[in-house]
Structure 1
Amino acid sequence: MKIGIIREGKNPPDKRVPFTPDQLKALQEEYKGKLSFQVQSSSSRAFSDQEFIDAGIQVFEDISDSDVLFGVKEVPVEELIEGKTYFFFSHTIKKQKNNRKLLQAVLHKNIRLIDYETLKDSDGNRVVAFGRWAGIIGAYNAFWTYGKKTGLFDLKRANDCVNLMDLHHELSKVQLPPVKIVLTGSGRVGNGALEILKSLNIREVSIHDFLHLYFEEAVFVKLGSADYYRRKSDGAFDKEEFYAFPERYESHFQKFAEAGEMLIVGGYWDADAPRLFEMKDIASEDFQLSVIADISCDVGGAIPTTVSSSTIREPVYDIDRQTGKKLPAFGSQTSISVMAIDNLPCELPREASHEFGLQLTKWVIPALMEENAGILERATIARDGDLTIEFIYLTDFVSEHE
């Protein structure tokens, strides 16, 4: 089996790779005679062509003779090769309209599409993800944003840090007043953000104390869905019901928006679930949030102030509290500053790629050597021109036209 690592075609190109040069070298030695690897030439990766060559991996401009192709972000429609098996983040399983044409092309070209987001073990847990790195860098950017907005300290950008150790060293510059911080999410993203909060020695407090007490130091509260969603009928919360029927619930997040000054969003959001708050709420004098780091970056989703994604080059924009309109970053002290970069791990691409490659090495490569491996079958969105049973719910989505 010949495996190819494609050049990232989305613009601006992603610097991450599915596997590092050393990981491909180790795999090629372990599966000698069974697997071979080749890499498509690219000038934008965090790892140079020469690093792959030095590791004994062949680099070509054309790798269309590969049986299986690995990328990171969405592949441009015109670059999809008919009849191949692809692994990448397609961002289609939530019916994202901007990728409808991509999924239509996958079906038209008889491509087998396996989305990293759908790779799960037998218990339904995701096995490959960049979430921890999104959480780490997203939380770092939250404090970078707070420093810029308040003028209290000045951090260098995460993508200017050499590595994670350098990023943690940079955090030593943070000097916080008694600010209250809200963190949502308990998965990879939330736990990655938690690493930064702990690195800063910010004390975690209970919900009751967060809402009702004054502190002489910075504190944070970590929230799960049960803490800010309530069933409409009786105010209770049932986890299984919430995930199955989120429309039966309403948000009770407002009290946290009135107590906290910073919000770091790392929780998963279902499109049928209510938003944490509404745009009209931010005009209230009681709404205290002034910095929002939306790591999940669901545009038009849980956080209404996330009116668009931001970029590594321009990481922050402001939202006017009265009009809800987007403003240049830090143009007004009274506006809300929003950090919503949608490719956060790209700011530390080498380390993020290394961890991702370890996950692929553990879960995906062995499965490729099996016939009809369950983990790959469950994760296959499309094959032979049709959606698979698991993803048949996307039929209407791909049948629509812009």
Structure 2
Amino acid sequence: MLELWIRHEVRESERRCALSPADAGILIRSGVRITVEESPQRIYPLEDYVAQGCVTASAGDWVDAPESTVILGLKELPEEPAQLRHRQVMFGHAYKGQPGAQRLLERFEAGGGLLLDLESLADEAGRRQAAFGYWAGFAGAALGVLQQHGDLHPPIAATTSAELAERLRKYRDRPARTALVIGALGRSGRGAAAALVEAGVTPTGWDVAETRNLDRDALLRHNLLVNCVLAGPGTEAFLQRADLARPESQLTCVVDVSCDPGSPWNALPLYDAVTTWDAPAITVGSAAVIAIDNLPSLLPRDATDTFSADLTPHLRDLEGLTGAWQQCVTAYRTAVSAR
């Protein structure tokens, strides 16, 4: 029998969960056993999971779970234990040379566990099967609009997409601003465009064709840039710090939804560390730069429900690591062998 264990997220600003109570109930009724840890910030209360038949545990108890249990989470693990012996479903951010990547892989290797990185959960054509991209783009573009109108007041509290859209609509009668979304055809790009339209802005959309021979002068003629490109080998920088210092630059805000400052393939090497919900923007040249690495947590219920609906059909394949999970296994083994 497959046993899933939903762990508490150690990051205080992380309110999402990979699995909603409703989808947990669907899995339980199909024969899956699910344990859910207590978590004070998770958008869904523990009682909602209990009502669906989940078993409860204290935060952090996953370390003592039976070795056959699959641990389900989203963001970074605590520093201990040093050896990771379980199969862990999460966003590991360990395959692009990011800070801390080698240490994480060492912990899995030492404990005999397995990192099933959700970024690698893809079909044979490379299409990701579950992602938070749409709401990341929506949230990022919305924060960019708020920044431009002097209405970004930290600390920023979680909300819903309906409430955020209503807040954006009040800017529709303000002077028009120009916005550029790079990676416009992907999930994040579509979400960013939707938020901008709510604010009365019709964005310019660039994707692979428009960035193959990048027109940086045209880029700089926009007021707001929202980067939604998933960087990889060969990705070139769209902007450098010197570009934002150019007198002809009209950029007043740059939102990096992809947010990968530690990667050698970072498309926006304008900053050295991510920004936070308490300090969402830094100033670089003429522009404010927003680079929050868990943007969908602004919309935790919307993000959880959408992601969970995508992920749930694949969770049934975890017991035999069949289907798209084979892509995760291959990515992990390749990364470990390359260390």
Query: Same fold, TM exceeding 0.5?
Result: yes
Residue 41 of structure 1: how far off its partner (Å): 1.8
Residue 11 of structure 2 corresponds to residue 14 of structure 1: no
C-alpha distance in structure 2 between counterparts of 1:132 and 1:263, whole Å = 17
C-alpha distance in structure 2 between counterparts of 1:265 and 1:167, whole Å = 20
Residue 224 of structure 1: how far off its partner (Å): 1.2
Any idea what SS the aligned residue of 2:93 has?
coil
C-alpha distance in structure 2 between counterparts of 1:70 and 1:113, whole Å = 11
Residue 142 of structure 1: how far off its partner (Å): 0.7
Check conservation: 2:274, 2:293, Cα contact below 8 A.
yes
Residue 131 of structure 1: how far off its partner (Å): 0.6
C-alpha distance in structure 1 between counterparts of 2:155 and 2:44, whole Å = 18
- Matching of residues 192-203 of structure 1 within 5 Å: 192-203=191-202
Residue 118 of structure 2 corresponds to residue 116 of structure 1: yes
Check conservation: 2:154, 2:278, Cα contact below 8 A.
no
Query: Larger Cα Rg: Structure 1 or Structure 2?
Result: 1
Structure 2 runs not aligned, ≥5 long: none
Check conservation: 1:16, 1:349, Cα contact below 8 A.
yes
Structure 1 runs not aligned, ≥5 long: 149-153, 204-219, 231-251, 322-334
C-alpha distance in structure 2 between counterparts of 1:176 and 1:293, whole Å = 21
Match of 1:173 among 170, 185, 188: 170
Task: Give the structure 1 partner of residue 223 of structure 2.
Answer: 261
Check conservation: 1:229, 1:253, Cα contact below 8 A.
no
Task: Give the structure 1 partner of residue 307 of structure 2.
Answer: 356
C-alpha distance in structure 1 between counterparts of 2:126 and 2:220, whole Å = 36
Task: Give the structure 1 partner of residue 272 of structure 2.
Answer: 307
Match of 2:318 among 346, 361, 368: 368
Residue 195 of structure 1: how far off its partner (Å): 1.1
C-alpha distance in structure 1 between counterparts of 2:23 and 2:236, whole Å = 42
Inter-CA distance 268–295: structure 2 relative to 1 (3 Å threshold): same
C-alpha distance in structure 1 between counterparts of 2:326 and 2:85, whole Å = 17
Any idea what SS the aligned residue of 2:317 has?
helix
C-alpha distance in structure 2 between counterparts of 1:184 and 1:147, whole Å = 22
C-alpha distance in structure 1 between counterparts of 2:162 and 2:33, whole Å = 34
- Matching of residues 70-149 of structure 1 within 5 Å: 70-79=72-81, 82-148=84-150
| Farther-moved stretch of structure 1 (39-48 vs 130-139) | 39-48
One-letter identity of the residue aligned with 1:225? V
Residue 71 of structure 1: how far off its partner (Å): 0.5
Check conservation: 2:95, 2:101, Cα contact below 8 A.
no
Check conservation: 2:282, 2:288, Cα contact below 8 A.
yes
Inter-CA distance 112–95: structure 2 relative to 1 (3 Å threshold): same
Inter-CA distance 123–115: structure 2 relative to 1 (3 Å threshold): same
Check conservation: 2:160, 2:300, Cα contact below 8 A.
no
Task: Give the structure 2 partner of residue 3 of structure 1.
Answer: 4
One-letter identity of the residue aligned with 1:200? A
C-alpha distance in structure 1 between counterparts of 2:110 and 2:330, whole Å = 14
Task: Give the structure 1 partner of residue 26 of structure 2.
Answer: 26
Check conservation: 1:156, 1:170, Cα contact below 8 A.
no
C-alpha distance in structure 2 between counterparts of 1:141 and 1:257, whole Å = 20
C-alpha distance in structure 2 between counterparts of 1:108 and 1:160, whole Å = 39
Residue 13 of structure 1: how far off its partner (Å): 5.2
Check conservation: 2:121, 2:325, Cα contact below 8 A.
yes
Task: Give the structure 1 partner of residue 298 of structure 2.
Answer: 347
C-alpha distance in structure 1 between counterparts of 2:321 and 2:73, whole Å = 22
Match of 1:54 among 41, 45, 51: 51
Any idea what SS the aligned residue of 1:351 has?
helix
Any idea what SS the aligned residue of 1:277 has?
coil
Task: Give the structure 2 partner of residue 293 of structure 1.
Answer: 255
One-letter identity of the residue aligned with 2:69? D
Check conservation: 1:146, 1:291, Cα contact below 8 A.
yes
Any idea what SS the aligned residue of 1:374 has?
coil
Check conservation: 1:77, 1:105, Cα contact below 8 A.
no
Residue 237 of structure 2 corresponds to residue 227 of structure 1: no
One-letter identity of the residue aligned with 1:5? I
Residue 283 of structure 1: how far off its partner (Å): 2.1
One-letter identity of the residue aligned with 1:277? L
Inter-CA distance 163–42: structure 2 relative to 1 (3 Å threshold): same
Any idea what SS the aligned residue of 1:38 has?
strand
C-alpha distance in structure 1 between counterparts of 2:122 and 2:76, whole Å = 20
Residue 47 of structure 1: how far off its partner (Å): 1.8
Any idea what SS the aligned residue of 1:125 has?
coil
List per-residue Cα deviations over 1:171-229 (Å, max 9, x = no partner).
121143232211111211101111112323433xxxxxxxxxxxxxxxx3101132133
Check conservation: 1:136, 1:193, Cα contact below 8 A.
yes
Residue 157 of structure 1: how far off its partner (Å): 7.4
Residue 12 of structure 1: how far off its partner (Å): 3.5
| Farther-moved stretch of structure 1 (295-304 vs 112-121) | 295-304
One-letter identity of the residue aligned with 1:269? A
Please tell me the root mean square deviation across aligned C-alpha atoms, in Å. 2.3
C-alpha distance in structure 1 between counterparts of 2:4 and 2:176, whole Å = 53
Residue 279 of structure 1: how far off its partner (Å): 1.8
Aligned length in residues: 328
